[in-house]
Amino acid sequence: MNTNRSVLLEGVVVEEHLHLSVTEICQACSITHTHIEEWVAEGVLQPEGSNQSDWRFTGHSLRRAKIASRLVRDLEVNTPGVALALDLLEEIETLRKQLNQP
């Protein structure tokens, strides 16, 4: 009996078009405003806007915030550690892309 099924997945790249407020990022990642403030101060997240009330975050920031929240929650990594880990993860991703280029 053949049980192979084809599954069609569809996705949308949101990083370029998404702009979230501090509250929306907090809700999406189950974190507090304090986390966002600390991560912005440490350079983990780079919001658009000059005042905290004007901050808007891209899809790239959402991705980083989700990873950061898991590092804090699951591994109890502090804010400087989160910044370092995210930078290293992005460097690994860049190097992997370079290796896969013809």
Q: Give the model's pLDDT for residue 64.
A: 97
Query: Domain for residue 44, yes or no?
Result: yes
Burial class from Cβ neighbours inside 10 Å (0-12, 13-18, 19+) for residue 14 reads middle
Cα diameter, the chain: 62
For 8-27, write each residue's pLDDT tens digit. Answer: 666 555 556 789 999 999 99
Reduced to 3 states (helix: H, G, I; strand: E, B; else coil), residue 63 is helix
Crossing angle of helices 79-100 and 33-42, rounded to 10°:
60
Query: Domain for residue 4, yes or no?
Result: no
- The residue range of the domain holding 75 is 22-100
When the pLDDT of each residue in the chain is averaged and rounded to a whole number, the result is 90
Query: Domain for residue 78, yes or no?
Result: yes
Query: Domain for residue 52, yes or no?
Result: yes
Asked if 20 and 57 count as a contact pair (C-beta separation under 8 A), the reply is yes
For 64-94, write each residue's pLDDT tens digit. Answer: 999 999 999 999 999 999 999 999 999 999 9
CATH at residue 86: 1.10.1660.10
Number of domains in the chain: 1
Name the percent of the chain lying above pLDDT 90: 77
